[in-house]
Amino acid sequence: MAPSAISPGLEKNEQNLIIAAQNKNVKGQSPLQAISQGVSLPGIPSFTDVEKHRAWLLEHMAGAFRVFARKGFTEGMSGHISVRDPEHPHWFWTNPLARHFGLLKASDMILLDYNGAVVGGNTSRPANAAGFLIHGAVHKARPDVHAACHMHSKAGKAWSAFNKKLEMLNQDVCYFYGDALAVYTEFGGVVLSEEEGARLAASLGPNGKGLILRNHGLLTVGSTVDEAAYLFTLLERSCEIQLMADAAAANGLKKILVPDEAAEYTFRMSSDPESLYWEHQPDLEYEYAMDDSFKG
């Protein structure tokens, strides 16, 4: 029985027995091994050559933008991804202002320092000022964060108006169980001050993977750009499903939530960096197959 299929009608001890059996079945295996029948997919690539590492990061960054374009996350000049540089951890790459996500290539990206100065990459266009303040604050506050994604996507903007977290409605949203998801409960307009960026980053907390920005949009972070990008697509879809479920509930249907034990188990068995890296690969491979021009 899948974690999300555990009936809330079961007695507490029966739920605990199911979770214990699930834990026993995967004992000694990593989450990625458990989902792949004990034969793990290759790990996240590692590099001894910093230039090759940087090229790989920028290729995957551009690929994430192509995925976002296909999924309809564009909104004028809004939206940005940042990726920490592998050689200079206090610098990060981001996208140029006012270029469509579907046209972005690795060579388009801009390298900024923590003061917002351009220190490398594409110098033909500026970066988004609000994007710098948001992403710079997140990277400063969370040294473990190597990539962050922030978009003004449709369902995310709609759900952000409610100023609250998502419910554990299904297996997939359990990836944001507990303090993995937070809400930034303030809104003072476009982020154009360091203080606002710092407050936003602080609201993510030390363990946050996703953030709902009230009246604004969504933000996700990860140890790879692949992880952050997959989590963004998942968070956007989860907001859409929450809105659909609430609409159905308003017509009298009763929602049944995933029990805490099953939600915690699902989170623990699905939210490690390697599993989340691989969750993004099908979308990225599709972009390669359709058009791999974003590598250059």
Listed in sequence order, the residues at least 6 apart from 220 whose beta carbon sits closer than 8 Å to its beta carbon are: 148, 149, 209, 210, 211, 228, 229, 231, 232, 235
- H or E element, residue 121: strand 118-121
| Mean pLDDT computed over every residue of the chain | 92
Q: Are 89 and 152 in contact (CB under 8 A)?
A: no
The CB-side HSE value for 9 (13 A sphere, CA atoms) comes to 1
- pLDDT for the residue numbered 35: 80
- pLDDT for the residue numbered 192: 84
- pLDDT for the residue numbered 3: 42
Q: Are 251 and 200 in contact (CB under 8 A)?
A: no
- pLDDT for the residue numbered 5: 43
**Structurally, what CATH architecture does the domain formed by 49-295 represent?**
3-Layer(aba) Sandwich (3.40)
DSSP secondary structure letters along 163-179: -SPPP--STGGGGG-GG
DSSP secondary structure letters along 78-100: B-EEEEE-SS-TTEEEEPBTT--
Give the chain's residues under pLDDT 70: 1-27
- pLDDT for the residue numbered 1: 35
Q: Which one, of 96, 193, 209, lies nearest residue 146 by Cα? A: 209
Q: State the distance between the two ends of the chain, measured CA to CA, in whole angstroms.
A: 45
Cα of 166 vs its chain's centroid, Å:
15
DSSP secondary structure letters along 178-236: GGGEEEE----SS--SHHHHHHHHHHH-SS-SEEEETTTEEEEEESSHHHHHHHHHHHH
d(C-alpha 127, C-alpha 34), whole Å: 41
Calculate what percentage of the chain has a pLDDT beyond 70. 91
d(C-alpha 157, C-alpha 153), whole Å: 6
Handedness of CA 93, 222, 65, 203 (dihedral sign): negative
Residue 231, class by beta-carbon neighbours within 10 Å (0-12 exposed, 13-18 middle, 19+ buried)?
buried
If one counts every other C-beta atom within 10 angstroms of the C-beta of residue 194, the result is: 13
